[in-house]
Protein backbone atom coordinates (compact mmCIF):
# COMPACT_ATOMS: atom_id res chain seq x y z
CA UNK A 1 0.00 0.00 0.00
CA UNK A 2 2.76 2.47 1.02
CA UNK A 3 4.76 1.63 -2.08
CA UNK A 4 1.70 2.26 -4.25
CA UNK A 5 1.15 5.62 -2.62
CA UNK A 6 4.77 6.56 -3.31
CA UNK A 7 4.40 5.52 -6.94
CA UNK A 8 1.34 7.73 -7.37
CA UNK A 9 3.20 10.69 -5.88
CA UNK A 10 6.10 10.07 -8.22
CA UNK A 11 3.86 10.10 -11.26
CA UNK A 12 1.85 13.10 -10.10
CA UNK A 13 4.61 15.44 -8.99
CA UNK A 14 7.93 14.16 -10.25
CA UNK A 15 8.32 16.32 -13.38
CA UNK A 16 6.37 19.40 -12.32
CA UNK A 17 8.19 20.25 -9.09
CA UNK A 18 11.77 20.03 -10.31
CA UNK A 19 12.26 23.36 -12.16
CA UNK A 20 10.52 25.38 -9.45
CA UNK A 21 12.53 23.78 -6.66
CA UNK A 22 15.76 24.30 -8.62
CA UNK A 23 14.99 28.01 -9.06
CA UNK A 24 14.16 28.33 -5.37
CA UNK A 25 17.42 26.62 -4.40
CA UNK A 26 19.45 28.99 -6.60
CA UNK A 27 17.67 31.98 -5.05
CA UNK A 28 18.32 30.67 -1.53
CA UNK A 29 22.04 30.14 -2.15
CA UNK A 30 22.48 33.48 -3.89
CA UNK A 31 20.36 35.41 -1.39
CA UNK A 32 20.15 34.63 2.33
CA UNK A 33 22.72 31.85 2.06
CA UNK A 34 25.36 33.96 0.34
CA UNK A 35 27.15 35.17 3.46
CA UNK A 36 26.98 31.77 5.15
CA UNK A 37 28.52 30.05 2.14
CA UNK A 38 31.19 32.75 1.75
CA UNK A 39 32.15 32.71 5.45
CA UNK A 40 32.21 28.93 5.59
CA UNK A 41 34.30 28.65 2.43
CA UNK A 42 36.85 31.21 3.66
CA UNK A 43 37.17 29.43 7.00
CA UNK A 44 37.63 26.11 5.21
CA UNK A 45 40.43 27.44 3.02
CA UNK A 46 42.11 29.00 6.07
CA UNK A 47 42.27 25.54 7.60
CA UNK A 48 39.92 26.39 10.48
CA UNK A 49 36.45 25.22 9.38
CA UNK A 50 33.39 26.34 11.31
CA UNK A 51 29.75 25.32 11.43
CA UNK A 52 29.21 27.58 8.41
CA UNK A 53 31.78 25.45 6.56
CA UNK A 54 29.83 22.27 7.28
CA UNK A 55 26.56 23.88 6.20
CA UNK A 56 28.14 25.37 3.07
CA UNK A 57 29.61 22.02 2.01
CA UNK A 58 26.32 20.27 2.78
CA UNK A 59 24.21 22.73 0.78
CA UNK A 60 26.66 22.71 -2.12
CA UNK A 61 26.76 18.90 -2.18
CA UNK A 62 22.98 18.59 -2.13
CA UNK A 63 22.52 21.24 -4.82
CA UNK A 64 25.23 19.78 -7.05
CA UNK A 65 23.84 16.26 -6.70
CA UNK A 66 20.31 17.41 -7.50
CA UNK A 67 21.48 19.43 -10.50
CA UNK A 68 23.67 16.65 -11.91
CA UNK A 69 21.18 13.84 -11.35
CA UNK A 70 18.38 15.97 -12.76
CA UNK A 71 15.95 18.42 -11.11
CA UNK A 72 12.95 16.64 -12.57
CA UNK A 73 13.65 13.39 -10.74
CA UNK A 74 15.69 14.60 -7.75
CA UNK A 75 13.78 17.61 -6.48
CA UNK A 76 14.16 16.29 -2.93
CA UNK A 77 17.90 16.98 -3.01
CA UNK A 78 17.32 20.48 -4.33
CA UNK A 79 14.94 21.15 -1.46
CA UNK A 80 17.75 20.63 1.03
CA UNK A 81 19.52 24.03 0.65
CA UNK A 82 16.20 25.87 0.97
CA UNK A 83 15.08 23.98 4.05
CA UNK A 84 18.53 24.12 5.63
CA UNK A 85 18.74 27.88 5.30
CA UNK A 86 15.24 28.39 6.63
CA UNK A 87 15.81 26.24 9.70
CA UNK A 88 19.33 27.53 10.44
CA UNK A 89 18.42 31.20 10.07
CA UNK A 90 15.38 30.70 12.29
CA UNK A 91 17.51 28.94 14.88
CA UNK A 92 20.14 31.68 14.84
CA UNK A 93 17.50 34.37 15.21
CA UNK A 94 16.05 32.63 18.26
CA UNK A 95 19.55 32.08 19.64
CA UNK A 96 20.49 35.75 19.23
CA UNK A 97 17.31 36.85 20.98
CA UNK A 98 17.99 34.48 23.85
CA UNK A 99 21.63 35.58 24.21
CA UNK A 100 20.59 39.22 24.30
CA UNK A 101 18.73 38.45 27.54
CA UNK A 102 21.78 37.00 29.24
CA UNK A 103 24.18 39.76 29.97
CA UNK A 104 24.19 42.91 31.99
CA UNK A 105 22.68 45.68 29.86
CA UNK A 106 25.77 47.88 29.68
CA UNK A 107 23.95 50.56 27.69
CA UNK A 108 21.22 50.73 30.34
CA UNK A 109 23.90 50.89 33.04
CA UNK A 110 25.72 53.86 31.52
CA UNK A 111 22.34 55.51 30.85
CA UNK A 112 21.95 55.87 34.63
CA UNK A 113 24.27 58.88 34.41
CA UNK A 114 22.00 61.90 33.83
CA UNK A 115 22.52 64.00 30.72
CA UNK A 116 22.38 67.29 32.64
CA UNK A 117 23.61 68.51 36.03
CA UNK A 118 23.06 71.56 38.24
CA UNK A 119 26.41 73.36 38.27
CA UNK A 120 26.91 75.66 41.28
CA UNK A 121 28.70 78.82 40.25
CA UNK A 122 29.57 82.23 41.65
CA UNK A 123 27.35 83.43 44.52
CA UNK A 124 25.61 80.04 44.70
CA UNK A 125 24.07 80.48 41.26
CA UNK A 126 22.85 77.22 39.71
CA UNK A 127 23.01 76.52 35.98
CA UNK A 128 21.92 73.44 34.06
CA UNK A 129 24.89 72.14 32.05
CA UNK A 130 25.60 68.90 30.15
CA UNK A 131 27.10 66.28 32.45
CA UNK A 132 29.84 65.70 29.87
CA UNK A 133 31.00 69.31 30.48
CA UNK A 134 31.70 68.71 34.18
CA UNK A 135 35.30 68.52 35.32
CA UNK A 136 36.91 67.30 38.56
CA UNK A 137 36.65 70.08 41.11
CA UNK A 138 33.29 71.41 39.88
CA UNK A 139 30.49 71.74 42.41
CA UNK A 140 26.99 70.46 41.64
CA UNK A 141 23.70 70.33 43.47
CA UNK A 142 21.48 67.24 43.44
CA UNK A 143 17.83 67.53 44.45
CA UNK A 144 15.70 64.73 45.94
CA UNK A 145 14.71 62.20 43.29
CA UNK A 146 17.57 63.15 40.97
CA UNK A 147 20.59 61.06 40.04
CA UNK A 148 24.09 62.06 41.09
CA UNK A 149 25.81 63.13 37.84
CA UNK A 150 29.37 61.87 38.50
CA UNK A 151 31.44 60.40 41.31
CA UNK A 152 32.35 62.91 43.98
CA UNK A 153 32.32 63.92 47.64
CA UNK A 154 29.51 65.51 49.65
CA UNK A 155 30.30 69.11 50.61
CA UNK A 156 27.00 70.06 52.21
CA UNK A 157 23.64 68.54 53.02
CA UNK A 158 22.42 65.26 54.41
CA UNK A 159 20.47 62.68 52.44
CA UNK A 160 20.29 58.99 51.55
CA UNK A 161 21.27 57.49 48.23
CA UNK A 162 20.37 54.26 46.47
CA UNK A 163 23.73 52.72 45.50
CA UNK A 164 22.32 49.35 44.41
CA UNK A 165 23.68 49.78 40.88
CA UNK A 166 27.19 49.46 42.34
CA UNK A 167 26.80 47.43 45.51
CA UNK A 168 23.96 45.14 44.45
CA UNK A 169 22.33 45.84 47.83
CA UNK A 170 18.84 47.35 47.68
CA UNK A 171 19.10 49.71 50.65
CA UNK A 172 19.50 53.43 51.20
CA UNK A 173 22.92 54.64 52.33
CA UNK A 174 23.08 57.78 54.53
CA UNK A 175 25.31 60.55 53.16
CA UNK A 176 26.77 63.54 54.97
CA UNK A 177 29.64 65.97 54.34
CA UNK A 178 32.84 64.10 53.58
CA UNK A 179 31.15 60.93 52.32
CA UNK A 180 31.81 59.68 48.78
CA UNK A 181 28.90 59.41 46.33
CA UNK A 182 28.65 57.41 43.13
CA UNK A 183 27.53 58.78 39.80
CA UNK A 184 24.11 57.39 38.88
CA UNK A 185 23.00 56.91 42.51
CA UNK A 186 19.53 58.31 43.26
CA UNK A 187 19.32 60.99 45.95
CA UNK A 188 16.51 60.76 48.51
CA UNK A 189 15.23 62.95 51.36
CA UNK A 190 17.36 66.07 50.96
CA UNK A 191 19.50 68.06 48.50
CA UNK A 192 23.23 67.44 48.37
CA UNK A 193 26.06 69.72 47.30
CA UNK A 194 28.79 67.60 45.76
CA UNK A 195 32.32 68.26 44.56
CA UNK A 196 32.98 66.26 41.38
CA UNK A 197 35.96 63.94 41.69
CA UNK A 198 36.01 62.12 38.34
CA UNK A 199 35.26 62.73 34.69
CA UNK A 200 32.42 60.84 33.01
CA UNK A 201 34.84 58.37 31.43
CA UNK A 202 36.37 57.42 34.78
CA UNK A 203 33.26 57.09 36.95
CA UNK A 204 32.48 53.93 38.87
CA UNK A 205 29.65 53.15 36.44
CA UNK A 206 32.02 53.46 33.46
CA UNK A 207 34.58 51.23 35.16
CA UNK A 208 31.91 48.63 35.93
CA UNK A 209 30.73 48.67 32.31
CA UNK A 210 34.27 48.25 30.96
CA UNK A 211 35.08 45.51 33.48
CA UNK A 212 31.93 43.57 32.57
CA UNK A 213 32.66 43.86 28.84
CA UNK A 214 36.27 42.77 29.42
CA UNK A 215 35.21 39.87 31.62
CA UNK A 216 32.77 38.59 29.03
CA UNK A 217 35.45 38.80 26.34
CA UNK A 218 38.13 36.87 28.28
CA UNK A 219 37.68 33.13 27.72
CA UNK A 220 37.90 30.51 30.41
CA UNK A 221 40.58 27.81 29.93
CA UNK A 222 37.85 25.21 29.33
CA UNK A 223 36.58 27.39 26.46
CA UNK A 224 39.96 27.29 24.71
CA UNK A 225 39.85 23.50 24.95
CA UNK A 226 36.30 23.44 23.56
CA UNK A 227 37.31 25.74 20.69
CA UNK A 228 40.24 23.49 19.82
CA UNK A 229 37.98 20.43 19.87
CA UNK A 230 35.41 22.23 17.70
CA UNK A 231 38.05 23.03 15.07
CA UNK A 232 39.19 19.42 14.78
CA UNK A 233 35.58 18.31 15.02
CA UNK A 234 34.75 20.01 11.71
CA UNK A 235 37.52 18.14 9.88
CA UNK A 236 36.36 14.90 11.45
CA UNK A 237 32.76 15.50 10.40
CA UNK A 238 33.77 16.20 6.80
CA UNK A 239 35.81 13.00 6.74
CA UNK A 240 32.91 11.07 8.24
CA UNK A 241 30.54 12.56 5.66
CA UNK A 242 32.78 11.36 2.83
CA UNK A 243 33.06 7.92 4.43
CA UNK A 244 29.27 7.80 4.78
CA UNK A 245 28.78 8.57 1.10
CA UNK A 246 31.18 5.90 -0.12
CA UNK A 247 29.94 3.27 2.33
CA UNK A 248 26.31 3.58 1.22
CA UNK A 249 27.22 4.03 -2.44
CA UNK A 250 29.53 1.01 -2.63
CA UNK A 251 28.91 -1.37 0.28
CA UNK A 252 25.34 -0.53 1.27
CA UNK A 253 23.50 -2.26 -1.62
CA UNK A 254 25.48 -5.47 -1.11
CA UNK A 255 25.20 -5.58 2.68
CA UNK A 256 21.65 -4.29 3.14
CA UNK A 257 19.82 -4.60 -0.18
CA UNK A 258 16.24 -4.45 1.10
CA UNK A 259 16.79 -1.53 3.48
CA UNK A 260 18.73 0.41 0.86
CA UNK A 261 16.06 -0.14 -1.78
CA UNK A 262 13.29 1.04 0.58
CA UNK A 263 15.26 4.09 1.66
CA UNK A 264 16.21 4.95 -1.93
CA UNK A 265 12.57 4.78 -2.96
CA UNK A 266 11.67 7.25 -0.20
CA UNK A 267 14.50 9.62 -1.15
CA UNK A 268 13.67 9.66 -4.88
CA UNK A 269 9.91 9.04 -5.23
CA UNK A 270 9.99 10.33 -8.83
CA UNK A 271 12.00 7.32 -9.99
CA UNK A 272 10.28 4.06 -10.93
CA UNK A 273 10.08 1.50 -8.12
CA UNK A 274 12.43 -0.91 -9.86
CA UNK A 275 15.20 1.70 -10.01
CA UNK A 276 18.39 0.77 -8.17
CA UNK A 277 19.97 4.25 -8.15
CA UNK A 278 21.89 4.57 -4.88
CA UNK A 279 23.65 7.91 -5.44
CA UNK A 280 20.77 10.12 -4.20
CA UNK A 281 20.49 8.14 -0.95
CA UNK A 282 24.25 8.18 -0.38
CA UNK A 283 24.34 11.92 -1.07
CA UNK A 284 21.48 12.65 1.32
CA UNK A 285 23.08 10.65 4.13
CA UNK A 286 26.40 12.42 3.59
CA UNK A 287 24.64 15.80 3.66
CA UNK A 288 22.80 14.75 6.82
CA UNK A 289 26.11 14.18 8.60
CA UNK A 290 27.32 17.65 7.63
CA UNK A 291 24.23 19.52 8.75
CA UNK A 292 23.24 17.61 11.87
CA UNK A 293 26.68 17.98 13.47
CA UNK A 294 26.81 20.94 15.82
CA UNK A 295 30.25 22.34 16.66
CA UNK A 296 28.52 25.60 17.54
CA UNK A 297 27.00 23.98 20.63
CA UNK A 298 30.54 23.24 21.82
CA UNK A 299 31.54 26.81 21.05
CA UNK A 300 28.54 28.26 22.89
CA UNK A 301 28.79 26.03 25.96
CA UNK A 302 31.30 28.17 27.86
CA UNK A 303 30.85 31.79 26.71
CA UNK A 304 27.08 31.80 27.25
CA UNK A 305 27.50 30.59 30.83
CA UNK A 306 30.34 33.07 31.47
CA UNK A 307 28.17 35.84 30.06
CA UNK A 308 25.38 35.01 32.50
CA UNK A 309 27.70 34.41 35.46
CA UNK A 310 29.73 37.61 35.11
CA UNK A 311 26.58 39.70 34.59
CA UNK A 312 24.90 38.12 37.63
CA UNK A 313 28.00 38.81 39.72
CA UNK A 314 28.06 42.44 38.58
CA UNK A 315 24.43 42.82 39.63
CA UNK A 316 25.52 41.66 43.10
CA UNK A 317 28.32 44.23 43.23
CA UNK A 318 31.03 41.68 42.40
CA UNK A 319 33.17 42.62 39.39
CA UNK A 320 34.94 39.53 38.04
CA UNK A 321 37.95 39.91 35.75
CA UNK A 322 36.96 37.28 33.17
CA UNK A 323 35.93 33.73 32.42
CA UNK A 324 39.33 32.46 33.52
CA UNK A 325 38.82 34.10 36.93
CA UNK A 326 35.37 32.52 37.27
CA UNK A 327 36.82 29.10 36.55
CA UNK A 328 39.60 29.52 39.14
CA UNK A 329 37.14 30.94 41.64
CA UNK A 330 34.91 27.89 41.29
CA UNK A 331 37.79 25.72 42.55
CA UNK A 332 38.78 27.93 45.51
CA UNK A 333 39.11 25.93 48.72
CA UNK A 334 41.22 28.31 50.83
CA UNK A 335 40.36 31.93 51.67
CA UNK A 336 42.79 34.35 53.32
CA UNK A 337 41.59 37.53 55.05
CA UNK A 338 43.62 40.53 56.07
CA UNK A 339 42.39 41.78 59.43
CA UNK A 340 42.29 45.51 58.73
CA UNK A 341 39.04 46.51 57.10
CA UNK A 342 38.12 43.14 55.62
CA UNK A 343 37.00 40.95 58.51
CA UNK A 344 33.32 41.13 59.31
CA UNK A 345 30.85 38.79 60.97
CA UNK A 346 31.43 35.17 61.99
CA UNK A 347 28.52 34.10 59.76
CA UNK A 348 30.68 34.75 56.69
CA UNK A 349 33.49 32.57 58.00
CA UNK A 350 31.04 29.83 58.97
CA UNK A 351 29.39 29.94 55.53
CA UNK A 352 32.76 29.60 53.81
CA UNK A 353 33.67 26.64 56.00
CA UNK A 354 30.40 24.90 55.13
CA UNK A 355 31.48 25.26 51.48
CA UNK A 356 34.64 23.26 52.24
CA UNK A 357 36.87 26.33 52.35
CA UNK A 358 39.67 26.66 54.89
CA UNK A 359 39.77 30.22 56.26
CA UNK A 360 43.01 31.90 57.38
CA UNK A 361 43.71 35.26 59.00
CA UNK A 362 46.87 36.82 57.53
CA UNK A 363 47.88 40.10 59.17
CA UNK A 364 50.77 42.32 60.06
CA UNK A 365 49.37 42.89 63.55
CA UNK A 366 50.86 41.40 66.68
CA UNK A 367 49.87 38.08 68.13
CA UNK A 368 47.40 39.32 70.75
CA UNK A 369 45.42 41.54 68.35
CA UNK A 370 45.43 38.89 65.62
CA UNK A 371 44.22 36.10 67.88
CA UNK A 372 41.49 38.32 69.33
CA UNK A 373 40.21 39.19 65.83
CA UNK A 374 40.34 35.54 64.78
CA UNK A 375 38.46 34.43 67.88
CA UNK A 376 35.68 36.96 67.24
CA UNK A 377 35.34 35.86 63.62
CA UNK A 378 35.60 32.13 64.30
CA UNK A 379 38.85 31.64 62.34
CA UNK A 380 41.09 28.79 63.49
CA UNK A 381 44.17 29.51 61.34
CA UNK A 382 45.99 32.70 62.40
CA UNK A 383 49.22 34.09 60.91
CA UNK A 384 50.44 37.35 62.43
CA UNK A 385 53.37 39.76 62.16
CA UNK A 386 53.62 39.38 58.37
CA UNK A 387 54.98 42.18 56.21
CA UNK A 388 53.64 42.62 52.63
CA UNK A 389 56.30 40.36 51.13
CA UNK A 390 55.70 37.91 53.96
CA UNK A 391 52.02 37.64 53.03
CA UNK A 392 52.93 36.89 49.42
CA UNK A 393 55.48 34.33 50.60
CA UNK A 394 52.86 32.70 52.79
CA UNK A 395 50.56 32.36 49.78
CA UNK A 396 53.35 30.65 47.82
CA UNK A 397 54.19 28.33 50.72
CA UNK A 398 50.54 27.45 51.30
CA UNK A 399 50.17 26.50 47.65
CA UNK A 400 52.71 23.71 48.17
CA UNK A 401 50.53 22.12 50.85
CA UNK A 402 47.53 19.87 50.47
CA UNK A 403 43.97 21.15 50.66
CA UNK A 404 41.62 21.09 53.66
CA UNK A 405 40.89 17.38 53.28
CA UNK A 406 44.40 16.51 52.06
CA UNK A 407 42.80 15.76 48.71
CA UNK A 408 44.25 18.45 46.46
CA UNK A 409 46.55 21.48 46.64
CA UNK A 410 44.89 24.68 47.81
CA UNK A 411 43.33 27.05 45.33
CA UNK A 412 43.77 30.31 47.19
CA UNK A 413 41.66 33.45 47.34
CA UNK A 414 43.05 36.50 49.14
CA UNK A 415 40.79 39.30 50.40
CA UNK A 416 42.47 42.65 51.08
CA UNK A 417 42.09 46.39 50.75
CA UNK A 418 45.44 48.03 51.40
CA UNK A 419 48.77 48.66 49.68
CA UNK A 420 50.35 46.04 51.93
CA UNK A 421 47.93 43.43 50.54
CA UNK A 422 48.79 44.02 46.87
CA UNK A 423 51.65 41.45 46.65
CA UNK A 424 49.50 38.74 48.24
CA UNK A 425 46.52 39.64 46.04
CA UNK A 426 48.71 39.24 42.98
CA UNK A 427 50.22 35.96 44.24
CA UNK A 428 46.87 34.34 45.04
CA UNK A 429 44.90 32.37 42.47
CA UNK A 430 42.06 34.86 42.96
CA UNK A 431 42.55 38.26 44.57
CA UNK A 432 39.57 40.13 46.06
CA UNK A 433 39.84 43.88 46.61
CA UNK A 434 37.09 45.80 48.36
CA UNK A 435 35.63 48.78 46.55
CA UNK A 436 36.84 51.16 49.22
CA UNK A 437 40.38 49.81 49.07
CA UNK A 438 43.48 51.42 47.63
CA UNK A 439 44.21 51.69 43.92
CA UNK A 440 47.17 49.33 44.41
CA UNK A 441 44.93 46.65 45.90
CA UNK A 442 42.31 47.00 43.16
CA UNK A 443 45.00 46.89 40.49
CA UNK A 444 46.46 43.64 41.85
CA UNK A 445 43.10 41.95 42.37
CA UNK A 446 41.18 39.87 39.85
CA UNK A 447 37.82 40.51 41.57
CA UNK A 448 36.60 43.85 42.93
CA UNK A 449 33.91 43.94 45.61
CA UNK A 450 32.19 47.19 44.66
CA UNK A 451 30.03 47.06 47.79
CA UNK A 452 33.13 47.11 49.96
CA UNK A 453 31.72 44.17 51.93
CA UNK A 454 33.69 40.90 52.17
CA UNK A 455 30.35 39.07 52.16
CA UNK A 456 30.60 39.48 48.39
CA UNK A 457 33.21 36.71 48.51
CA UNK A 458 30.45 34.25 49.31
CA UNK A 459 28.25 35.45 46.46
CA UNK A 460 31.20 35.29 44.06
CA UNK A 461 32.07 31.75 45.14
CA UNK A 462 28.49 30.51 44.70
CA UNK A 463 28.06 32.19 41.32
CA UNK A 464 31.37 30.80 40.06
CA UNK A 465 30.50 27.26 41.14
CA UNK A 466 27.05 27.48 39.56
CA UNK A 467 28.62 28.85 36.37
CA UNK A 468 31.16 26.04 36.16
CA UNK A 469 28.42 23.46 36.75
CA UNK A 470 26.42 24.99 33.89
CA UNK A 471 29.48 24.92 31.62
CA UNK A 472 29.92 21.23 32.34
CA UNK A 473 26.24 20.56 31.65
CA UNK A 474 26.46 22.47 28.37
CA UNK A 475 29.58 20.61 27.26
CA UNK A 476 28.02 17.29 28.27
CA UNK A 477 24.92 18.05 26.23
CA UNK A 478 26.91 19.23 23.21
CA UNK A 479 29.11 16.13 23.20
CA UNK A 480 26.23 13.76 23.92
CA UNK A 481 24.08 15.28 21.18
CA UNK A 482 26.78 14.84 18.56
CA UNK A 483 27.59 11.31 19.69
CA UNK A 484 23.94 10.32 19.14
CA UNK A 485 22.82 12.56 16.27
CA UNK A 486 25.75 12.08 13.90
CA UNK A 487 25.50 8.25 13.72
CA UNK A 488 21.73 8.50 13.23
CA UNK A 489 22.25 11.02 10.43
CA UNK A 490 24.78 8.69 8.82
CA UNK A 491 22.13 5.98 8.59
CA UNK A 492 23.07 3.70 11.46
CA UNK A 493 19.36 3.00 12.07
CA UNK A 494 18.51 2.57 8.38
CA UNK A 495 18.64 -1.27 8.46
CA UNK A 496 15.78 -1.25 11.00
CA UNK A 497 13.77 1.78 9.85
CA UNK A 498 14.24 1.53 6.10
CA UNK A 499 14.28 5.34 5.93
CA UNK A 500 16.86 8.12 5.89
CA UNK A 501 16.67 11.35 7.84
CA UNK A 502 15.84 14.39 5.72
CA UNK A 503 18.52 17.14 5.71
CA UNK A 504 15.98 19.72 6.86
CA UNK A 505 15.21 17.60 9.92
CA UNK A 506 18.93 17.31 10.62
CA UNK A 507 19.24 21.10 10.45
CA UNK A 508 16.34 21.44 12.88
CA UNK A 509 18.08 19.10 15.32
CA UNK A 510 21.30 21.10 14.97
CA UNK A 511 19.52 24.39 15.67
CA UNK A 512 17.70 22.85 18.63
CA UNK A 513 21.03 21.69 20.07
CA UNK A 514 22.39 25.24 20.10
CA UNK A 515 19.18 26.59 21.56
CA UNK A 516 19.34 23.96 24.31
CA UNK A 517 22.79 25.21 25.34
CA UNK A 518 21.64 28.84 25.33
CA UNK A 519 18.48 27.93 27.24
CA UNK A 520 20.45 26.07 29.90
CA UNK A 521 22.65 29.12 30.39
CA UNK A 522 19.54 31.27 30.78
CA UNK A 523 18.39 28.89 33.50
CA UNK A 524 21.63 29.74 35.33
CA UNK A 525 20.43 33.34 35.63
CA UNK A 526 17.19 32.16 37.22
CA UNK A 527 19.07 29.86 39.59
CA UNK A 528 21.35 32.68 40.75
CA UNK A 529 18.37 35.02 41.17
CA UNK A 530 16.57 32.41 43.32
CA UNK A 531 19.65 31.88 45.50
CA UNK A 532 19.80 35.63 46.13
CA UNK A 533 16.17 35.67 47.21
Q: List active site positions.
A: 338
Spatial contact of 59 and 33, defined as CB atoms under 8 Å apart: yes
Q: What is the 3-state secondary structure (H, E, C) of 312-334?
A: HHHHCCEEECCHHHHHHHHCCCE
What is the phi/psi pair of residue 320, to 5°?
A: -95, 140
What is the phi/psi pair of residue 400, to 5°?
A: -80, -10
491 sits in the region (left: phi over 0; alpha: psi -120 to 50; else beta) called left
C-alpha 373/C-alpha 356 separation (Å) is 22
DSSP 171-182: SEEEE-TT-EE-
Q: Which residues pair with 54 in a beta bridge?
A: none
Reading across the β-sheet that carries 172-175, which strands appear in turn?
172-175, 159-162, 186-188
Spatial contact of 175 and 127, defined as CB atoms under 8 Å apart: no
Nearest partner of 80 among 500, 482, 496, 512, judged by Cα: 500
3-state secondary structure of 471: helix
Nearest partner of 209 among 333, 354, 110, judged by Cα: 110
Nearest partner of 17 among 70, 57, 83, judged by Cα: 70
Q: Which distant-in-sequence residues (6+ apart) come within 8 Å of 286 by Cβ?
A: 61, 241, 242, 244, 245
Q: Which residues pair with 340 in a beta bridge?
A: none
Q: Which residues pair with 152 in a beta bridge?
A: 181, 196
What is the phi/psi pair of residue 97, to 5°?
A: -65, -40
C-alpha 525/C-alpha 529 separation (Å) is 6
Reading across the β-sheet that carries 116-120, which strands appear in turn?
126-130, 116-120, 139-142, 192-196, 152-156, 180-181
C-alpha 304/C-alpha 521 separation (Å) is 6
Burial (CB count within 10 angstroms: exposed 0-12, middle 13-18, buried 19+), residue 96: exposed
- Tell me the HSE value of 464 on the side-chain side, using a 13 A CA sphere: 28
Amino acid sequence: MWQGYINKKRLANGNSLGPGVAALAVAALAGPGRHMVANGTRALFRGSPTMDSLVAVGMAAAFAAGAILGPATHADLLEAPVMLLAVILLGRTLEARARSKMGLDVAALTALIPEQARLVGFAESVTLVPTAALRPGDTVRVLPGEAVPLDGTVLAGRASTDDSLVTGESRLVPKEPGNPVTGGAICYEGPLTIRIGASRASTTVSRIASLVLEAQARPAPVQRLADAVAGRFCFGIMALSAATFWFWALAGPALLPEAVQAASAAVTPSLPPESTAIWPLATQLAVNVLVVACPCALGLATPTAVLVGSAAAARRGVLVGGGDVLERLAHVNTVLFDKTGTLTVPELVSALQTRDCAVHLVTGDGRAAAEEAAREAGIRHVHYGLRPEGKAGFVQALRQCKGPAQARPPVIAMVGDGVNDAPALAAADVGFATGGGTDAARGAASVVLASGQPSGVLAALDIARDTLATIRQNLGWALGYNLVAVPLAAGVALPWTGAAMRPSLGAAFMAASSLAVVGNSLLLRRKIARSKG
